[in-house]
Amino acid sequence: MPELPEVEIVRQSLHKKIKEKSIKKVIIRNRNLRFKIQSDFESFLEDKKIIKINRFSKYLIIHFEKENYCIIHLGMSGTIHILDNKKPLKFTNSSFYHSPLLPKKHNHAEFIFDNLKVIYNDPRRFGFFEIIKNHQDLEKRFKSMGPEPFSKKFNINYVLNYFKGKNKDIKSFLLDQRFVSGIGNIYASEILFACKINPFKKAKQLNKNECLKIILNSKKILRQAINRGGSSIRDFKDILGNQGTFQREFKVYQQDGDDCKRLKCKGIIKKKISSNRSTFFCNICQN
């Protein structure tokens, strides 16, 4: 599943290509995604001008004129492909998941502009589209979710108060979108390694300094991943032919059995399955 940095790369690609453009036509080939695409989806979007593409957590938000919006979630396997008629692209994928080329199957939605097409492909169909018709409803849509790691609301007072009396382990909290939005399994392991915190330590046992480290390293590692184009685990390329390179900097994720990369640490990277998720950590410096 794409995490916050990978969705941000998609956002940047779309914003560059389709902002200030109007959707001429929408073609839906399969309405049966995670949530069924509503019957008026095409008529709602057609002829609407796109003002900008934003993102919250792992959600893309298309802003139209007159405070209309379309939310896109990529689910487990969703990818967005951009086909430019004026400048044909060798690689159509706007991020780093699955094929860099437009697949022949599972192209469920097509958005047609004057000189380009945007195609949504999703083999597992866990992604979805959602129409929002005013700004108030947009705010309500994300009300139950925690702040993003980059938000000023994600501060020491917020974290300390949230963790009071909580028995759940810190790794689970980093994956809990009600606590903080956008962090997934890859970056949770990397953040906790940077903090030298055991992933299975209970949240209520974390001191102020440890909480501060979590805040700072969450921002730092996600920014690094965005700057490096995300983590393209399978080494595919985006529409410019660029690879996401952050996977080359993984310290623990998928490194089980390797020596710890921290200077002077003699630990070994371990893998533990918890709640059907793989957690990677050093058995010494994160003990």
Active site members:
2-3, 58, 277
Sequence-distant (≥ 6) Cβ neighbours of residue 112 within 8 angstroms? 23, 24, 25, 26, 27
Sequence-distant (≥ 6) Cβ neighbours of residue 44 within 8 angstroms? 68, 131
> Do residues 119 and 27 touch, judged by C-beta distance below 8 A?
no
Q: Cα separation of 121 and 46, whole Å?
A: 20
Q: Which residue has the tokens 């695409």?
A: 37
Q: What number of H helices and E strands is found in the chain?
A: 7, 10
Q: How many CB atoms lie within 10 A of CB 105?
A: 6
